[in-house]
């Protein structure tokens, strides 16, 4: 997994990216400005080009390099204009409160700045999702339940957070794909998808091809998509009692259509699942993940190990 901030942590690449802030540069110009040797500069540029951090444009015989996207340009500029941060300087609990207050007001700029502060401090993706965004959205949900905010503000906070998740894709790029496919979605009457999207992002950044169906998917459509795409992993989210029965029905149908030619793993998570995991395991789920952290540290390594064994066995036959 490639993090733009991690690339900036390397002294030579940091010098190169600092020079590209001023505009297009060729290798000779970068060497002159940074005092780095030409082979060193070329190697770093090749690495960052492969990771989508810089792009190359040919003009005659010269190749000029620049920052690849406006989002990456904003990240690089923020590093050189904001004070340096360490993980110890960032208090995610306080940031979560600040983020929640900004999100319900639709203050996307403040939410972006909070995310940037965490990324600049090299806080891990799991910590950002689990210890910043998830608690912030829990606060938003609690405020809505006690009518401290209205439904429009709750929806606005969710929309802002989904855009923050999408923005993360501009900061972090995926590993080399390994061919495994994850299909993620919710049964009918299940509407809460942010936690599921976080897991989808984590899988994508670890080389999985992720297919995100979103909320309230009819069972027939869900099963058709499974048959068409033949996933390695199917993940469902169930956050509320009103969607529990439909989630159980979808789980049973997923088990019914699963066969040896398509032996996908079925996982489930969400607030309702955490209250009664046995209910969903008995309906057919292979595992119940409490949150992203438990999924990443417990369930995903087991699946990766099994898939590697299967792939090795297939290559020997």
Residue spans of the domains in the chain: they are: 2-77, 82-172, 175-316
pLDDT value, residue 282: 97
CA angle 34, 39, 45 (to 5 degrees): 70
pLDDT tens, residue by residue, 46-98: 988 888 889 999 888 889 999 988 878 887 887 777 666 565 667 999 999 99
- Taking the domain 2-77, which CATH number applies? 1.10.10.10
Could you tell me which residue, 261 or 236, shows the higher pLDDT? 236
Quote the distance between the C-alpha of residue 188 and its chain's center: 24
- Taking the domain 175-316, which CATH number applies? 3.40.50.280
Contact 150, 29 (CB under 8 A): no
Candidates 203, 156, 151, 143; CA nearest to 178 is: 203
Mean pLDDT (the chain, rounded): 88
Residues above pLDDT 70, as percent of the chain: 91
pLDDT tens, residue by residue, 7-47: 777 788 888 998 998 889 999 999 998 899 999 999 999 98
Kindly state the greatest CA–CA separation across the chain.
66
pLDDT value, residue 170: 64
Domain 82-172 coded CATH 1.10.1240.10: yes
Helix (H, G, I), strand (E, B) or coil at 264: coil
Secondary structure letter of residue 291 according to DSSP: S
């Amino acid at each position: 997994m490639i993090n733009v901030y991690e690339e900036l942590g390397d002294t030579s690449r940091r010098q190169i990216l600092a020079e590209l802030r001023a505009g297009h540069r060729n290798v000779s110009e970068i060497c002159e400005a940074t005092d780095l040797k030409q082979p060193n500069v070329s190697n770093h540029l090749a690495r960052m080009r492969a990771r989508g951090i810089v792009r190359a444009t040919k003009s005659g015989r010269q190749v000029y390099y620049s920052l690849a996207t406006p989002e990456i340009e904003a990240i690089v500029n923020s590093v050189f204009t904001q004070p340096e941060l360490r993980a110890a300087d960032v208090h995610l609990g306080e940031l979560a409160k600040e983020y929640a207050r900004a999100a319900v007001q639709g203050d996307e700029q403040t939410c972006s700045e909070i995310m940037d502060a965490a990324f600049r401090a090299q806080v891990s993706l799991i910590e950002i999702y689990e210890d910043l965004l998830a608690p912030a959205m829990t606060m938003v949900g609690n405020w809505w339940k006690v009518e401290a905010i209205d439904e429009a503000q709750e929806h606005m906070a969710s929309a802002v957070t989904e855009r923050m998740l999408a923005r993360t894709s501009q900061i972090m790029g995926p590993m080399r794909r390994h061919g495994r496919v994850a299909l993620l979605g919710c049964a009918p009457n299940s509407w809460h998808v942010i936690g599921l999207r976080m897991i989808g992002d984590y899988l994508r950044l670890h080389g999985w091809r992720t297919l995100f169906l979103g909320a309230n998917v009819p069972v027939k459509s869900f099963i058709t998509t499974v048959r068409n795409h033949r996933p390695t992993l199917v993940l469902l989210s169930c956050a509320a009692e009103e969607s529990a029965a439909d989630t159980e029905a979808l789980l049973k149908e997923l088990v019914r259509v699963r066969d040896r030619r398509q032996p996908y793993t079925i996982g489930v998570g969400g607030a309702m699942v955490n209250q009664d995991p046995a209910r969903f395991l008995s309906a057919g789920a292979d595992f119940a993940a409490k949150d992203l952290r438990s999924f990443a540290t417990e369930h995903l390594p087991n699946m990766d190990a099994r898939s590697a064994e299967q792939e090795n066995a297939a290559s020997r036959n």
